[in-house]
A = this chain, B = another copy of it.
Amino acid sequence: MVDVAARETKSTRTRQRILDAAAEVFSEQGYPARLSDIADRAGMKAGSLYYHFDSREDLVAEVLRLGIEGSWEQVAAAVGRLPSTATPLQRLEAAVRAHTLSIVGRSAYATAQARIVGSLPPDLARAHRKDQRAYGEYWRDLFDAAQRAGQLKSGVDTFAAQMLAFGAMNWTSEWFQAGRGLTPEQLADQAVMLFFGGVASLP
């Protein structure tokens, strides 16, 4: 066995613990969170972080990457679980539901990602944009398929619709509190209903 990626050394486990702590702290405090707070939660001293990460920015970048990756995996899995007879619109619906749940469903990474993207210094923002673009293109394919199938209202700008949807879904990390009012699943239902059918009762 020489599969380095899969090997579980003490180091990789600690690194993971640090990342988990960082995701939680960033999701609570936003970008200005201090390394000492992250170290505290990981059960170590701030200086010790540097054995695992070269800099604060490296740590932030990794949390951001994992945030997108996590949502993407959940969304892709949900879409993949659909029967092959599912329509493009149903696939898009499953994606909206899954992404909303990935934000709200206690994924500190997804929440942190959604919360701190707005305050990134230029270099981190640039690095992050590549991942965003890749995930965005996955969504664009979903939109394009639905549009080609004639399942989208005429006049809909798919790019604007996609970005408006991301805004609505990602912002839930700021206000949604499980147990107060809606469950995560009910919130996802609301998002799907609103996004595909709108709030108005009259056509």
- Which residues of A pack against B, CB within 8 Å? 29-32, 89, 115-121, 150-157, 159-161, 163-172, 174-176, 181-182, 186-187, 190-191, 193-203
In the complex, how many angstroms separate the beta carbon of A148 from the nearest chain B beta carbon? 12
Of B150, B186, B187, B191, the contact of A201 (CB 8 Å cutoff): B150
Residues of B within 8 A of A194 (CB): 156, 160-161, 164, 195, 198
Smallest CB gap from A120: residue in B: B30
Pick 11 A–B contacts, CB within 8 A, sort by A.
A30-B31, A31-B32, A89-B202, A153-B198, A153-B199, A153-B200, A163-B171, A164-B172, A195-B199, A197-B198, A197-B203
Taking chain A's interface residues, is the majority helix, strand, or loop, or is none over half, making it mixed? helix
Beyond the given pairs A156-B190, A196-B198, 18 more chain A to chain B contacts, judged by CB atoms under 8 angstroms and listed by A's residue number, are: A30-B118, A115-B119, A116-B118, A118-B119, A150-B201, A151-B201, A154-B201, A156-B199, A157-B181, A157-B190, A160-B187, A161-B190, A161-B199, A163-B171, A164-B168, A164-B169, A164-B172, A197-B197
